[in-house]
Structure formats: C-alpha cells, structure tokens
Amino acid sequence: MQYMTDRKRVEGLGSAKTGTHHFWTMTVTSVALLVLLPFFLAIMGPLIGASHEDVVASLGRPMPALIVAAFLVVGMHHFRLGVTTLIEDYVGGLSRKIWIIAMTIVSYGLAAAGIVALAQIAL
C-alpha cells in the first residue's frame, strides 16, 4: 500500500493552460454561426429545387457568395474544435493524436473544397 499525499497523486495532471482559449474560440464561433445562419438560410432556402442557372445566378453575386463562404469556414472551424474536444474526452493514447490529426485534415479539407466549389460557381 502506498501512502501518497493528494498533491503527489495529481502532480502532472493539472491544467493544460489552453482551456480558456478553447472555450472562447468555441463561444465566438457559436455566436458567429448564430448571426450567419439566418442569412445563410435566406440565401440557400429559395435555391432548394431551383434550376442550375438560378443557383449560379444567385451565388454569382458577391454578398451571397461571401456569406456562404463565411458560414462554411466558420462552421468547419467550429466543427473541428467540437470534434477535437469529443476525441480528447473519449479516445486515449496514440489513436487520440491520429484521430485529431485526421479530423483536422477532414475539416479543413471540406472547407477548402467548399470554397473552391463556391469560387467556381461565383466566378
């Protein structure tokens, strides 16, 4: 049986000193998505079921394209932060690092693919 003090049991398990930054980043992206969502829905809602020409004409204008791009980038960044938290909470060891790297690549890849697709439509 080991007799250890409380301090000795938790030594090295303290704060990682990034929790506040992560919290604020999640909060800021949440508020940004909350502001962008009505505009995004107002732009994309009428385009559901519309012809290809109507979609290209709508997204070819600068403001709708910028709003959709901002929604896409902020949404994918928020997704990356959220899924990183999920992985940190439920996955351990080397697989934790692998999953975090993989999901970072996926989220930034989706954002880049969306921006490229939007640029091809808008230009």
Q: What are the residue boundaries of the structural domains of the chain, listed by start?
A: 32-122
pLDDT tens per residue, range 7-36:
666 666 556 667 788 889 999 999 999 999
Structure-block tokens of residue 53:
């020409």
**Cα dihedral 19, 23, 25, 30 in deg (nearest 10):** 160
pLDDT tens per residue, range 89-109:
999 899 999 999 999 999 999
pLDDT tens per residue, range 36-85:
999 999 999 999 999 999 999 999 999 999 999 999 999 999 999 999 99
